[in-house]
Every structure is written in C-alpha cells, then in structure tokens.
Structure 1
Amino acid sequence: MLSLYQKYWRTVFDIGIIALTVWLTMYIFSYLYNLATPVFLSFLVFWIIEPLARLLNRWGLRKSIASGISVLLFTLVILAIFVGLGFVFTQQIIQLSEDLPKYTAQLQEQISNITGNLQGRIEALPPGIEDKLNDAITFVTNQGATWAGVFLTWLAGFLTSFSSFVLNFSIAIILAYFLSLEIETWKQLSKERSPKTLKIAFEFLRNNVFKGIGAYLKAQGKLISITFGVIFVALLALGVNNAFSIALLAGFFDVLPLLGVNTLFIPWIAYLFITGETNLAIWLTGLLLVVTLTRQILEPRITGQTVGVSAFTMLAFMMVSLSLFGVAGLILAPILMILLKALYDQGYFNKWIRYPREEFIVPPLAPQQSELVVPADKDRP
C-alpha cells in the first residue's frame, strides 16, 4: 500500500489541484451570477443583437441607431414569445394537470377489468390476487399522477411567476445596448493593457471553447426546432388535445442528453395501450420512431464534432453541477466540459499531471490523435 502511495501521490495531488480549480470556478461563477444576473444575461443578449447591429452599421447607420433597432426587434420578438406562446402553453399545462385525476381513474378502471378477466379465465390464480394487484396498481398510478401533477404545477407556476427574471432580463437588454455601443472601446483597452498570459488564455478559450459553444447551441437549436415542428404537426393531424404544449415539452426533453422525447412518449404510449386507445398508440409509436430516426440521421450532419463529449459525461456533469451550484452550475457545465475536452485534446493534461510512466504501455492522458502536436510552453493558456 505504501508503494502505491509513493507512486501515485503526485498524480492524486495534480488531479486534486485541477478538480479544486474547477470547483472554485463553478463556485465563483455561481456566486457572481446570483449577485449580478443581469450582467451575465446581457452578454447573451449582446451575442444575439450584435450581428444585426454590425450589419446596419456597415450599411451606414450610426452605431447607436443600429444597436437601437437591433434591440427593439429583439425585444419585440421576446415579447411575442412570452405573451403569445407563454399564455397558450400555460393554459394548456394547467388544463392537463387538472385532467390528470381523470386519466388516472381511467387507467385504474381498465387495469381492474383486465385483471378481472384474467382471474376469471385462470382458475389457478389465488383468490386475493386481484385485490393485491389493484392495490399495487393504484399505488403506482397514484404515485405517477402525483409526480406528474407536481411537475406540471411547478412548470405552470414557473411560467406564471417569473417577475424577477423579467426584471433581470429587462435590465440585461439595456446593458446589452450600451455594451454594443462601447464594445470597440473595451476591445481596444483589452488589447493594449491586458497581460500577455491573459491574452493567450483568452485566445485559447475563443478558438477552442467559445466557438464550440456557439456552434453547439446553433446545432441543438436546429435539432430541437425540427423535433418540435414534426411533433406539433403530427399531433395536430392526429387531433390530439394540447398539441402545442406536448410538442413544447418534447422539445424541452429533447435538450437533455440520453433522455430525449422518449421520456414523454413511452409512458404516454404505454398508457394508451392499457386504456384501449390502440389506434392512437400505434400512430404515436410511429411518430416516436420517425422523430428518433430523423434526429439520428440529422444530428451527425448538423452537430458534427462540435463538442466531442459523450452524452453520458455531459449529462452527469450537468446534473452534478445543478445539484451543487444551481442554475449557474447548469449554465457553466457545458462550457467547462468543452474546455476540459480541449485541454485533453491538445495534450495539456498529459503535461500537467504527473504519473509513473513505467506503469503504462500507453500514456493514459495522452490525446487519442497521435499526430496532434502539443503547443510550446509559451503558448499555454
């Protein structure tokens, strides 16, 4: 045991330093995010409005007017989404949560009928098996209805009581406008007065992280929009109630790695088969297959090698970050994961973490691309 400690104490120490750095980054970001949420939101708004503002400025408009037009259009679009889609979605979610007890009663009645028929046909079935099955099924369905009701009620409450978010977002829009006016000044100051080490680190982040995050968000936005559109049109054609809310929920679940629309559709299809709505269940099964195959075909084409992080790793890191640091951790998790992946791909972990070389045939932290050249020390972030 002592020899094991002697061999690997440096490795454990180096990994601990990196883990501590990641934890401190998450902690500081979550603290600052809670302290100055509008400032962080303003960077997101600026990222959205700046392309149009630059385009109008190149066409001859003053930057203040160009930024004002871009902010105005952005605000109108956001208001339309919040007021229009938010109202429809909230109303349909509230209606769906109110109908859950009725659906639960239908499920229990159908299962009771199936159990009764089964007991009548099989004489060897114990006498009290129907009551036991009914009790178990009632518990499961009530528990599922309770969880679904809590989730839907929370979702409706979240959409109807986001006054603090609206206030922060409004301030963020104003901050983004002024940032759009002053961005060239800030760029000039950072170019002239920032230390070289910070410039190298920022260049590394810009080339390996920021571009990856932007491309990843655009790709996911396209995929989610396709999923939402296909499901919404299909549900409208099938005459399903609350089609918009269901399609929007499917788009929300589609964001989550590993889970996807299966989280919504599989329990729904199972319920329809049990309650005897076989025709709709078959159509929804076909729709699920179409959506899944479409995403499997389009995702490699649209996303490509944008992130290069497995879905399990990304989801696990996001869940841990959410538990430890809340919403701020959830926001920062993909950025840190892409940064760690970039550091690994470029061989920095292989240089930073010491380990007994004689223990391994292939260095465990070496990049998989053997042809990859590690930058010189002066180029390190």
Structure 2
Amino acid sequence: MDNINKKKEFIIKFIYFLIILGIIFFIFKYALPLLSPFIFAFLISMALKRPVDYISTKFKINRKIIGVIMLLFVYIFICIILIFFGTKIFQYIGGIFQKLPDIYTFNVEPALNIIIYKIQDIIPDIANFINLEDINKYIMNIVNLISLSAVDAITSIATKIPSFLVKFIFAIISSFLFTLDYYRFTGFVMRQFPERIQHIILNIKRNIFGTIFRLIKAYSILLTLTFIELSIGLIIFNIPNAILLAIVIAILDILPAIGVGGILIPWAVIELMKGNYNLAIGLIVIYAIITIIRYILEPKIVGNQIGLNPIVTIISMFLGAQLLGFLGIFILPIIVTIIKYLNDTGTIKVFK
C-alpha cells in the first residue's frame, strides 16, 4: 500500500512539474513576445527605482519629476545608440555582402585557379574529372546566393523597423506610466496574492536579479578570455590592428549566428585560397583553441556563478536554445536556478 501511495505521489508531482514547465514554455514562447514592450518598460522603471528614490530623498524633489528626467536621459541615450551605431553596422554589413562577388572575382578566384593549376601539374589526369570553369561557376553561384540572401535579410529587417518603432513608442509611454505610479502598480499586483505567496515572489525577484548579475559576470569572464586568446593569436601572426580586431570579434562572439567561427573560418578559407597557408592554418588553430577552452570552461564558470552543477548548466543551456532560441541559453538556466532555490528553501519539493 505504501509503495502504491509513493507511486501516486511521484506521478502527481511529475504531472505537476510538467504542467509548470508547459506554462513557463507558453509564457516565454508566446506571451512574452506579445507583451515585450510593456515588460521592457517595467524593467526600465524597476531598474531606475533605486536611483530615482535616492535622488528624490536626497534633494527633496518630487519622485515623479526625477523619474521623468532620468527616463528622458535613458531614452535619448538609447536613441543615439540605435540611430548612430545601428545605421553604421547595417551599412557596413550590407556593403560587405554586396561586394562579395567582386571580392571573389578579383581575390579568391585567381588564388583558386593557381591552386587548381598546381594540382593539375601534380596529377595531370585530374583534368579529365574536374572542369575548372565549372568549379568557378559553381562557387560564383554560391557567392552570389550568399550575397543576395544577406541583402534580402537586411532588407527584411529594415521592413520590420516600423513595427519595432510602434513597439518602442508603446514601451516609452508605458515606462513613463510605470515610473510615475511604480509603487501603486506593484502594490496592486502584490495585493492580489496571499501573504505567503508575496514573500515567495519577492524572494524569487531577488534571486532572478542576483542570477542575471552573476550570468553577466560569467559571460564577461568568458568574453575577456576570448579577447585575450584572440589578441595573442593575432599578434603572433602580425595581423594589423590585432587588439582592435580582437575586441570586435570577441563582441561578435555573443551572437550565436556569427561567433568567433563566423569570422575566423571564412577568413582562413580566403587566406588559404590566396596561398597564405601559414596564416590560414594559424587562424584555424586559434579558432580550435578558443572553441575547446570555451566548451570546457563555459559550463563550469556559468554553473559556479549561478550555483548549478556544470552538467545541469550545459543541459539547460542546450534545451533553452532548442526551445526558446538564443535567449533560451540564458532564460532556462535562470528558471532552473529559481526551481533549485525554491526547492532548497522548502517552498516546493521537486527533488531531494
């Protein structure tokens, strides 16, 4: 009888856990994108709460006036960043992809021809199986396809700018409203829960912000290591502006679609076709070293910072990426950390 009760209890807990995971997945997959302007606005007002309260108390100025002034400064700064750097980045990337066919024609194709002619000198019969013109046409078609796809992608992003601006305007308006009535809004929301749940929510909030801070710290460590490895590697091979280039590539490493490999591998291929074999091999070696060190250290550093076992960390990062995309790499470890915290404090019992 005891065994049957234990099995029932296990099944109930398991189903409960699946329901919670399903609700979390639904929220992050569907609800958050719809409510993103308001969530962004609330996070901005929450981030400004302490400085606004401090300045208001220190200088005896109305809290709403300080809140409005600080929000104006924040949004002016954001607009300057988006307009200046966003425009420059899109122009730079678009220009590179538009020039890809010319780069191939005037740089890569001559180097490729030299390599193929050398192979033909060593193995004369290979000409019966490989047609140089067909290879060049095939590669040129791929380059044109990449160039057109990239330009189309940038154009597609540009067409979404009006939608983004609408969301951004709603976020701006909402952030002013949240800041002006922050305590009234949060007080109303908290009053809808029993006192015990209110304490849990406050503890979870503190845990979330602590975890986010530690995640930022962990990835700052990883990006610094990547920068150091890149700097040493590029300096060894006498690359001009090695330090500046290392900074740019390390920053791009944040983006999973690009990463270090998205820069170093194409660069190595181009150098190989140009006949710079030492540099091409060196770039591949740099990429291999960075990747190996990253895969070894990332779960350990991130896990240590947020208090998770490295195995649990890497599994949650992988599942997060599969379920929720790029942001899932950060979101799911945070969720797992919250579950662990609630379990450790005895609020819920998921595992022993």
TM-score normalized with structure 2 length: 0.72
Note if contact 1:273-1:281 (Cα within 8 Å) is conserved in structure 2. yes
- Paired letter, 1:46: S
Q: CA RMSD in A?
A: 4.5
Distance 1:64 1:226, change over 3 A: farther
Distance 1:35 1:378, change over 3 A: closer
Note if contact 2:101-2:140 (Cα within 8 Å) is conserved in structure 1. no
Matched, 1:317 2:316: no
Note if contact 1:94-1:152 (Cα within 8 Å) is conserved in structure 2. yes
Shift of 1:178: 2.2
Rounded to whole Å, the distance in 2 between the matches of 1:307 and 1:378 is 18
1:17-59 deviation per Cα after TM superposition (whole angstroms, max 9, x unaligned): 4334323332244443344332122123224433432332232
1:161-195 deviation per Cα after TM superposition (whole angstroms, max 9, x unaligned): 41221221222122112212222223444555521
Shift of 1:108: 3.7
Q: What residue in structure 1 maps to residue 169 of structure 2? A: 170
Q: What residue in structure 2 maps to residue 32 of structure 1? A: 31
Q: What residue in structure 1 maps to residue 70 of structure 2? A: 70
Note if contact 1:68-1:177 (Cα within 8 Å) is conserved in structure 2. yes
Distance 1:96 1:62, change over 3 A: same
Note if contact 2:42-2:175 (Cα within 8 Å) is conserved in structure 1. yes
Matched, 1:337 2:333: yes
> What are the equivalent positions in structure 2 for 1:1-381 lying under 5 Å apart?
14-60=13-59, 61-105=61-105, 106-123=107-124, 125-131=125-131, 135=134, 139=138, 142-143=141-142, 146-147=145-146, 149-151=148-150, 153-155=152-154, 157-159=156-158, 161-190=160-189, 192-217=191-216, 219-220=218-219, 238=240, 251-256=251-256, 260-277=259-276, 304-306=304-306, 308=308, 309-311=312-314, 313-322=316-325, 331=327, 334-343=330-339, 345=340, 348=343, 374-376=344-346
SS for the counterpart of 1:49 is: helix
Gaps of at least 5 residues in structure 2 are: 1-5
- Paired letter, 1:337: P
Q: What residue in structure 2 maps to residue 352 of structure 1? A: none
- Paired letter, 2:331: I
Shift of 1:253: 3.6
Note if contact 1:39-1:175 (Cα within 8 Å) is conserved in structure 2. yes
1:122-163 deviation per Cα after TM superposition (whole angstroms, max 9, x unaligned): 34x4442332x7746754664366346524541464257412
Rounded to whole Å, the distance in 2 between the matches of 1:74 and 1:160 is 26
Rounded to whole Å, the distance in 2 between the matches of 1:74 and 1:377 is 38
Note if contact 1:90-1:159 (Cα within 8 Å) is conserved in structure 2. no
SS for the counterpart of 1:130 is: coil
Note if contact 1:251-1:261 (Cα within 8 Å) is conserved in structure 2. no
Shift of 1:90: 1.5
Rounded to whole Å, the distance in 1 between the matches of 2:128 and 2:261 is 36
Shift of 1:77: 1.0
SS for the counterpart of 2:181 is: helix
Rounded to whole Å, the distance in 2 between the matches of 1:46 and 1:118 is 65
Rounded to whole Å, the distance in 2 between the matches of 1:118 and 1:255 is 38
SS for the counterpart of 1:59 is: helix
Note if contact 1:94-1:153 (Cα within 8 Å) is conserved in structure 2. no
- Paired letter, 1:314: M
SS for the counterpart of 1:83 is: helix
Distance 1:193 1:284, change over 3 A: same
Rounded to whole Å, the distance in 2 between the matches of 1:64 and 1:225 is 39
Residue correspondences, number:
333
Once the two structures are aligned, what percentage of the paired residues are identical?
A: 19
Q: Which has the higher contact order (CA 8 A, sep 6+)?
A: 1
Rounded to whole Å, the distance in 2 between the matches of 1:42 and 1:118 is 62
- Paired letter, 1:238: P
Note if contact 2:303-2:313 (Cα within 8 Å) is conserved in structure 1. no
Shift of 1:198: 2.5
Rounded to whole Å, the distance in 2 between the matches of 1:225 and 1:90 is 26
1:95-137 deviation per Cα after TM superposition (whole angstroms, max 9, x unaligned): 10111112333434422321221111234x4442332x77467
The structure whose residues are more often helix, as a share, is 2
Q: What residue in structure 2 maps to residue 364 of structure 1? A: none
Distance 1:120 1:280, change over 3 A: closer
1:50-83 deviation per Cα after TM superposition (whole angstroms, max 9, x unaligned): 3432332232232112111211111121111111
Rounded to whole Å, the distance in 2 between the matches of 1:198 and 1:94 is 51
Rounded to whole Å, the distance in 1 between the matches of 2:319 and 2:192 is 39
Distance 1:220 1:118, change over 3 A: same
Shift of 1:201: 3.6
TM-score normalized with structure 1 length: 0.68
- Paired letter, 2:113: S
1:282-336 deviation per Cα after TM superposition (whole angstroms, max 9, x unaligned): 88679868977998999777995236353464144223224xxxxxxx5466334
